[in-house]
Structure 1
Amino acid sequence: MRRSPSPLCWLPVKEEYLPLTQTDVLSARPSFAEKLGIPRPLLWGFVGLLLFMVGDGVEAGYLAPYLENHGMSSRDVAFLFTVYGVAVSLSSWLSGPLSDLWGPKRVMWIGLAIWSVFEVVFLLLGVQVNSYRMMLIAYTLRGLGYPLFAYGFLVWIAAATPPRQLGSAAGWFWFAFSGGLPTLGSLFASFTIPVIGEMATFWSSLGLVVAGGLVALLLTHEKRGSARLAPRDVSVRGIFFGSISILWREPKTFVAMVVRTIDTASEYAFLVIMPSFFTKVVGFTLSQWLQLLSIVFLSNILFNLASGMLADRLGPPHRGFHRGLPLGAAVSVPVFYYRLPLWPITATFFAGPPLAGIFYGGEPCGLSCRCRGLVPQICPPEKAAALSALGLGAGASTWVGPAIVTWFESWHGLEGIIWIFSGLYAFAGLLTLYLSIPEHARDYARKAAAKAKAQRAHGQDIYEGRPALH
């Protein structure tokens, strides 16, 4: 026994436990952030993530119309978004095993560097000189950046958050994630484009991303994020293979991946096809479209946050709430298309169209709500691998949505695409009936809780349910 740095606590010096600091001991007392469901040691990470995603989302609502207005066909734009989405999907999967191998914080640094470097290449050698080839290369490589940063932080949350708080913490993650991409990002662009122009707004996104990345990485000092998460006896091959083999070793993770893909596929498809529809067919100005987009996704993040907190209160048995929302999403997509454009574009713009947008934005969150809290609990010994499956699904949605536009727009038009997504949401709602915590996972959780209780009794760990370092 050796005295820990804190005068309030004694801690056995063992390799698998970190010494407690004064900050660690004080964090045992619930702060205002923790009462909201935000783990206090990760607070600045959430703030930085929000800023990072605001920067990433600045272009979301107007990149497609900008490129089309500069001579690119809608099919080429959809293909650019599709290839970008493939890179996002690959990187989303890699975020889990790389975090296991190197620690989430290092993975986040890599993601920040990739995004920043290839954004400069994309703007200088692609957009400014109107080179489609360079845009395709740079934008695709830039797509590797934000998932490493964002989903690396999600793995960090899963590793450092007690199970009783995980639903709320995940809700705040998606609040920050979607709050930036595209909610506040589009709102930011709607105000800056009329003032500084479209190109300068592209460059401003770089500043926001760098600022957010530095806030998250320099001000967050939670120790688990800087360490390897996988046991030392697990090989690199085992880490990467485990993040793929979990899809068939635990089929529920595969189902969750499919559901997560469908969840936001329509959103990324609409970012490609809806700007032209609303600005050229319906009659919105670009600023009105960007503001509407912000309202749509604001409803999404508020529903996500509220449902995450509700899940922590109600627990897994109350599944009807989450199962009803996906079926509502199947209705919300055609409502968004058929009903919203019927409102006149007048001074009362905000009195009508956002209602259908809010309905559409809020309903699909039932899919991700069902997945995000359950997936880490389905495979508690392999949280990073399970979250990789969820990240793979989230990343896949970024190319599946634009790919559906590429494949089906010329055959069925926008109306056909609307009904394709409506059918997909109904299918995903049925898949959620299969998602539940298996009995072997419940047994593991009970044993882990008993072990944590014994450790606390000996003064070894003040964080309830928090796993020790391997």
Structure 2
Amino acid sequence: MQTAAQQEKQSLADRIGIPRPLLWGFIGLLLFMIGDGVEAGYLAPFLEGQGHSSTQVALLFTIYGVAVSLSSWLSGPLSDLWGPKKVMWVGLWIWGIFEVFFLVFGLQPNNYPMMIAAYTARGLGYPLFAYGFLVWIAAATPARQLGSAAGWFWFAFSGGLPTLGSLFASFAIPRIGEMGTFWSSLALVMVGGLVALLCTHEPRGTQRLSPPDVTLKQAMFGSISIIWREPKTLIAGLVRTINTSSEYAFLVIMPGVFTKVVGFSLEQWLQLLSIVFLSNIIFNLLSGMMADRFGPRAVVAVGGGLGAAISVPLFYYVPLSMPHNFPIAAAMGILYGAALAAFVPLSGLMPQVCPKEKAAALSILGLGAGASTWVGPAIVTWFEGWHGVEGVIWIFSGLYVLSAVMTLAITVSPEARAYIRRSEAVSQSDREAAMHAAGNQ
């Protein structure tokens, strides 16, 4: 029997939207993503300082993003076949091993081909860890709590990448140097991964999620064929791609804008980046909770699509018109971070759109999230020569308007709603039977 203190602890977690059995997974994810995000705000200027052109830096990020996209998609079918926890273990070790290769054979000798090879391979790691955990959340969380649980997932995800990661870097670089800070990111990732995997014991994560007769080929094909079997997943994947594509583009172009034109120091830029994504993680939670109350489509379309279409130009033009004004730049960044957070309810919506194939539906969202890591830098590579940074800004603003329109087509069918009600009734019955059996012991 559980003690009153344990029951109170569980009820508190439930009230704030965290599935209690997964609590340590959220904590570990936050630490992991802090480590992954340490380099986010200063890798581009570091490489340019080593003599690499902005085009070479954008190419590095673009190829890395392709690897992230592939791994993000694989996280779904592999979690179905192996169980999410095993997928997370694979992701953790890929990240750790290839980060060592990136630092020792790429950055330290300033070997650009080795940088591309090791950084691309490392890009396979974090999506398996992070999106494997997202599949675990979808498998173990009731539908009524999915919006809030998704909000907490993105709170931990973006709380690390790049919010607290960049903040950590801004304090670490003056004290232990740039290379020392890169090495510290490896330690944070490994600690976070071990906390999540060794301290989380929720049983669904260790189990195969797909039926025993489903083969690897069938699982892989199913995670792609769902695009035409349920076209709403394709729409959601495209919306998710647009969601954070500007973020990854800004990590390439905005350090130069704010340090060379607006007049900030590198430390100020890193602190501004942390403020932007502090806003993002706060609104990750709020948007998830608002989605549970008002519906996810409204939050994504209005707060996300239209909000980002307005805040992206503001984040560029207002600081340019008021150089050296950190509070004004921070205010514009807060609006931008909040708008990106309003896309969070997509992660709670997709398991409801496809309740029989949650992992496959989430794999398309993961593919979209991964695609944004290379689509953003690719837009910079392709279009910066057109009208400079200003042209890139307006391309993203138009894409966000398009995302708002597309979101309106992502609806939950009556058949899916009926399936969810039946599944939750069965789960509730099983829980009550288990509690009754425990009480009789």
Q: Give deviations 1:391-417, integer Å, cap 9, x for gaps.
A: 000000000000001111122210000
**Aligned partners of 1:453, 1:63: CA distance in 2, in Å?**
49
Q: Give deviations 1:202-255, integer Å, cap 9, x for gaps.
A: 110000000100110111111110111111122221111111111110011110
**1:328 alignment counterpart:** 307
Shift in CA distance, 194/456, structure 1 to aligned 2, threshold 3 Å: closer
User: In the alignment, which of 424, 427, 437 is matched to residue 402 of structure 2?
Assistant: 427
Shift in CA distance, 100/320, structure 1 to aligned 2, threshold 3 Å: closer
**Aligned partners of 1:322, 1:394: CA distance in 2, in Å?**
15
**1:256 alignment counterpart:** 236
**2:328 alignment counterpart:** 352
**2:41 alignment counterpart:** 61
**Aligned partners of 1:124, 1:162: CA distance in 2, in Å?**
45
Contact 2:143–2:420 under 8 Å retained in 1: no
Q: Give deviations 1:299-343, integer Å, cap 9, x for gaps.
A: 111111101012223446xx4343211112111111111002333
- Residue 361 of structure 2 aligns with an amino acid whose one-letter code is A
Contact 1:378–1:436 under 8 Å retained in 2: yes
Contact 1:89–1:396 under 8 Å retained in 2: yes
| CA deviation after TM superposition for structure 1 residue 460, in Å | 4.8
| CA deviation after TM superposition for structure 1 residue 266, in Å | 0.2
Contact 1:265–1:400 under 8 Å retained in 2: yes
Trace 1:289-368 onto structure 2 (pairs within 5 A): 289-315=269-295, 319-325=297-303, 326-345=305-324, 349=326, 351-368=327-344
Trace 1:184-223 onto structure 2 (pairs within 5 A): 184-223=164-203
Shift in CA distance, 70/111, structure 1 to aligned 2, threshold 3 Å: same
Q: Which runs of 5+ in 2 are unaligned?
A: 437-441
Contact 2:287–2:344 under 8 Å retained in 1: no
Shift in CA distance, 269/460, structure 1 to aligned 2, threshold 3 Å: same
SS of the aligned residue for 1:232 comes to: coil
**Aligned partners of 1:171, 1:45: CA distance in 2, in Å?**
14
Question: Do residues 98 (structure 1) and 74 (structure 2) align?
Answer: no
**2:418 alignment counterpart:** 443
Q: Give deviations 1:102-161, integer Å, cap 9, x for gaps.
A: 111111111000000000000000000000000000000000000000000000111111
**Aligned partners of 2:391, 2:112: CA distance in 1, in Å?**
28
Contact 1:263–1:368 under 8 Å retained in 2: no
**Aligned partners of 1:321, 1:222: CA distance in 2, in Å?**
30
- Residue 50 of structure 1 aligns with an amino acid whose one-letter code is L
**Aligned partners of 2:298, 2:220: CA distance in 1, in Å?**
35
- The number of residue pairs the alignment matches comes to 434
Structure with max Cα Rg: 1
User: In the alignment, which of 135, 141, 148 is matched to residue 155 of structure 1?
Assistant: 135
Contact 2:301–2:403 under 8 Å retained in 1: no
| CA deviation after TM superposition for structure 1 residue 28, in Å | 9.8
Q: Which runs of 5+ in 1 are unaligned?
A: 1-7, 9-21, 463-470
**Aligned partners of 1:416, 1:63: CA distance in 2, in Å?**
24
**Aligned partners of 2:428, 2:270: CA distance in 1, in Å?**
51
| CA deviation after TM superposition for structure 1 residue 29, in Å | 7.7
Question: Do residues 408 (structure 1) and 365 (structure 2) align?
Answer: no
Contact 1:367–1:428 under 8 Å retained in 2: no
| C-alpha RMSD of matched pairs (Å) | 1.8
- Residue 431 of structure 1 aligns with an amino acid whose one-letter code is M
**Aligned partners of 1:221, 1:456: CA distance in 2, in Å?**
17
Contact 1:333–1:360 under 8 Å retained in 2: yes
User: In the alignment, which of 99, 103, 114 is matched to residue 123 of structure 1?
Assistant: 103
Report percent identity of matched pairs: 68
**Aligned partners of 2:388, 2:427: CA distance in 1, in Å?**
57
- Residue 163 of structure 1 aligns with an amino acid whose one-letter code is A
**1:52 alignment counterpart:** 32
**Aligned partners of 1:389, 1:400: CA distance in 2, in Å?**
15
| CA deviation after TM superposition for structure 1 residue 367, in Å | 2.8
